[in-house]
Structure formats: C-alpha cells, structure tokens
Structure 1
Amino acid sequence: MSFASARRRFLTATAGLAGLLIVAGTPALAQSAPEFETITPGKLTMSINPTLPPLQYVNDKGELQGMRVELGNALAEKLGLEPEYIRIEFAAMVPGLAAKRWDMINTGIYFTEERSKLMYMIPYEQAAISFLVQAGNPLGIESWEDLSGYAVGVELGGVEETRTREVNKMLEEKGMEGITVRTFNNFAEAFQALRAGQVDAATSIDATAMYWQQRGDFTRAISGLFPQTATFAFADKDLADAAVDALNELKEEGYYDELFDRYGVLKIDGDSFAIRGPGPQ
C-alpha cells in the first residue's frame, strides 16, 4: 500500500470517528454557531450613559441598575451572551458604534430618520420630554411658554438638546424672549447645575423627571412634550435581526410587559418588534 493510500484511509477513519464523537457528544457541540458576530466573542457589549434613574443609573454600590439595564441583560441572555457595559457620554456613542467599540447602544437613543440611515434601530419604548425646576417650582413655570427668558440645562448631543432648542425657536416665533440653552456632558451635570441654581430648569425624559420629583429633589413643571420612540441601535444587521427575535420572545413570555409595567414606562405600539428604517447605506 502506498503512503498516499494509507494516509487517505487514516483521514477517512479519523473523520468518521470525529463524526461519531459529535453525535454522541453534548448538544452544545452539535449546535451550529450563531449567525452573528460580536466585538468580543461570547459577550454583548453595550454603551450606556447611566445618569437617568430609574431607567439607567448607578446605585450606592457602584452597580448598574434600571429598566434599560434589566432589558439589556435579558436580551443578552436570550442571545446566549454575557452582558458587558461601557459607560460613556452620549455624544461618543454613535461614532463608537460605527468604529466597532461596542455592539449596541443601550441608552434609549431616540429614533430619527437620519439616525436610521447610520445604524439598525429597534424601537422598544415610548418617551416624552419634561422640564424639571427647583423643588416647589418657585418660578411658577407651568407651560413651555413660561420658560421664556430662563436658562435651561441639557445633555449635549441628544434629542433632548434638539427639543430644548426647538422650544427656544417656538418662543421666538411667538415674539417672546427665548431661552438660554446650556449644554453639559451628561444629565447628572445638568441636574447638578439646576440644584446649584446655575440654570433655571433642566430637560429630561418623563420617567426620569417623575423619579426626581418623587424623591423630592426637583419638581416636574412640564411633561409630555414631543413624544418620541426610544430604540436599541446596532451596526451589524445579523446581530440586530437576532435581537429582534430575542425581544419578540421576551414579549411572548410576558417579560417585556411585566418589566415596563413595573417601571411605569410606556410600551411601543404593536404586538412585535422590528427594525425601523433602512439601516446603513
């Protein structure tokens, strides 16, 4: 027998033995690999700006907490991945996603047509804008017109800043004095400026504003403005598709509804999740 023939027989026998081992082995070994890739194998890396209690914040022990954190953890588990969070300012999140520094933005990024052309966005939450003022509302602010002439603090780069500037434009179009918009690196800094009297009001989302009011830190003077849709955002289409399937499973199992009811957050319209918009072009 030639060496080549012997080698072929050896390889055939080895392949057959390997096939038997796979069949007889654990189910995990027999399963096909996931149809998506993540930046770090085995992990779902998410960017988050934990300055918006009760949705995303850091507790006294330095642990990430909140509705969006819980949903992110449940999503990672459904995907068979370990959740990992990168705490970073919002302004860096979209460039970081494009640069593949994280797999997903989990900070309640609002849907816009422009953003939907840069990433794959999955709506999962309804939110609106509030304006917080100092506790007791000493300035008597009750409507957006009452913000005329005052300074308002807001996080840099988000839809909240856009909407705050929109209120300024609305005031000017009515012939009223506008507002002075002061931007900060994150919401925590904006809220601290309000607490210190450096601004007269601060922009927030409804759920966070209610949280601070219930704590007694501030008064939610205005709420329900500019209803928006919050999303998860991905750079990879295959991972986004897998996330859609996972979210739909969480909804079918009742987890999604229970979580949102527990936090008093508005759910999306419709019975299922889907990518909205065209995605990167």
Structure 2
Amino acid sequence: MSLARTGSAFSAAFISLFIGYTTTAAAVDCPIKVADSSLLTPGEAVVSINPVSPPMQYVDPKSGELKGMRVEVGDAILERLCLKQKKIRVDDFGTMIPGLQAGRWDMINTGVFFTDARIKIIYMVRYENQAIAVSTRPGDASKFKTVEDLAGKTIGVDIGGYEENKLKQLDQELQAKGLPAIKIAIFNDTNIDYQALKAGQVDANFTIEAVAKEYADRGISQVALKGLYPSPVALAFRNKDFAQAVADTLTKMKADGSYQAIFDKYGKSIWDGPFDVKGPGI
C-alpha cells in the first residue's frame, strides 16, 4: 500500500466557525428539554459538521447555506428539543471525534459510521443505513467488476473515516491474496476527491453510496460497485443524557412520520432498528 495525502494535515487548526446561532424556538413557547449540565452552553447545542458530502451535508454554492438530508434531520431534532444551535464547520473529519472528546462541541452531525471501536469512546445514536461505493470516470465502470479490480490502482478516499479504514483493510486482504497493493490517495474534501477523479489523478473513488450517486447523477462519475461494507450511520455525542434526548426525539419523529418524510425527500434508506444510545458503559 502506498499513501498520498492531499489537503491539510490532521490538526484542530482546520476547525472554522461556519454558522453562528440559529434560534429554533422561543424559550417562552418551547421549554428546553435538555438539562444544562448535559450541554457545553445551557440551552444551546454546539454541532460540528463536515459539509462536503452532497446531498447529505454540503454548502449550497448559490446561497452559502448549509443544506442536505442530515442537516434537515439535525435541525428537526434540535428544534423539537427547543435548543438554539451553533454549527461549527470542521474541514478535517479526522479531528471531529477528538474534538468531541475534548469538549469542543456537543454533537457530530456528519454521518459517522457506527463501529464497535467508536462506541467505546463516544455515545452514538444510529439513524441511517449506508454503504460504500466505487466511483469511476464515465465509461470506466466496466473496469471494476469486483473489489479485486482495485488492486494496483490509485484510489481516492476521504481522510480519517470509515471509508479510509475499510479501503486499507481491503488493500491488506488483496495483498494477502498476492495481488498488487492499492495506491491510496487520501483527500481532505470529497469535492477534491471527485476533481482528482475527473482530472485523471486517481482511477476511482471509494465513497459512501449517497455521495457516489449524487456525482453520478451530475454526470461527473459513474458508479461501478456499491453495497460494500454496509453499516448504520449515527449521530455522535459527548454526553449520554443529551444522546438519550435525541434518541427519544427520533422515536417520536418516526411515529409521526416526519423522520420518514425527510428520508423519502432524498430517497435514502432509514434505520429500521430502535433509536437507542450506545456508548461507554452501555
């Protein structure tokens, strides 16, 4: 395996304020449903987001506003909890969980894959199903009929996430079979991944299915493989009680149909299990 890292290095210095306060409800009309002790700032949720994965979370190029399915889900939850919201843009996904642990934010809303390793250190609430896909330039999909066809190729992937870990795992498995190493190109931004693909700097990208479909729909790429390493996606928290309040809210949203309506709007797959909290000591 060879690694090439593009973009910024792993550092908290790449955390930047994206949006300040968004008032979700007036205190008189909507009593706050989360204890002050469960939040960094009473009555306010500090939410980190990595908005580089359309249509799930991204910055609208025309309005400059945050948009996407995960943004809508998060906004709906916090509005029901009567919390103000302070969104923090985090340009390096690899800093998001350490930032949560360090108390820089209360919640991560950027599609964190649920893993046994992560629930040992943070609290998570599953709410979405997702998997990984392989994207190629239009017309090249036939070159990648199985994951073994990634051997010896240059494959782009986002830094610090589930996709990077699974691509490295796959590379080790292929090498164990005697196949050439994958040349892994690590990027700090999904948009840059696809620019590199378009420019011929990588042979394919290893991204979540929702993003792969979005870029294919735009005519930028073609989906060659999908359904790889399926896993739930979760919201992540530093505080168990806040996580439980969110889980309870999602349960109510599912019962009244609003949760399903958001997913239907984007054509995405809901989490069909219970909205429960998993994390340290649970």
Corresponding residue for 2:42?
Answer: 41
Report SS of the residue matched to 1:177.
coil
The CA deviation at 1:31 is 6.4
1:221-267: per-residue Cα shift (whole Å, max 9, x none)? Answer: 11110001110010111111111111111111101111112212111
In 2, distance between residues paired with 1:268 and 1:66?
17
In 2, distance between residues paired with 1:211 and 1:176?
31
Structure with max Cα Rg: 1
The CA deviation at 1:176 is 1.4
Letter in 2 for 1:225: L
Within a 5 Å distance, the mapping from 1:51-62 to structure 2 comes to: 51-60=52-61, 61-62=63-64
Contact 1:206 1:224 (8 Å CA) reproduced? yes
Structure (1 or 2) with the greater helix fraction: 1
Corresponding residue for 1:193?
Answer: 196
Q: TM-score, normalised by structure 1?
A: 0.84
1:125-175: per-residue Cα shift (whole Å, max 9, x none)? Answer: 110000111122177222211112100111111010011112212221222
Unaligned runs of 5+ in 2: 1-26
Count of matched residue pairs:
253
194-203 or 132-141, which deviates more = 132-141
In 2, distance between residues paired with 1:86 and 1:241?
22
Contact 1:119 1:279 (8 Å CA) reproduced? no
Question: What RMSD, in angstroms, separates the aligned Cα atoms of the two structures?
Answer: 2.1
Structure (1 or 2) with the greater strand fraction: 2
Which of 236, 250, 253 in structure 1 is aligned with 2:253? 250
Pair 1:240-2:243 in alignment = yes
The CA deviation at 1:274 is 0.3
The CA deviation at 1:69 is 0.2
Q: TM-score, normalised by structure 2?
A: 0.84
202-211 or 40-49, which deviates more = 40-49
Pair 1:101-2:121 in alignment = no
Contact 1:51 1:186 (8 Å CA) reproduced? yes
Letter in 2 for 1:35: A
Within a 5 Å distance, the mapping from 1:136-147 to structure 2 comes to: 136-137=139-140, 140-147=143-150
Corresponding residue for 1:16?
Answer: none
Structure 1 residues 113 and 253: alpha-carbon distance in aligned structure 2, compared to 1, 3 A threshold = same
Within a 5 Å distance, the mapping from 1:54-133 to structure 2 comes to: 54-60=55-61, 61-88=63-90, 89-133=92-136
In 2, distance between residues paired with 1:166 and 1:33?
42
Letter in 2 for 1:78: R
Kindly report structure 1 stretches of 4+ aligned residues shifted beyond 3 Å.
Answer: 27-34, 277-280
Corresponding residue for 1:211?
Answer: 214
In 2, distance between residues paired with 1:263 and 1:78?
21
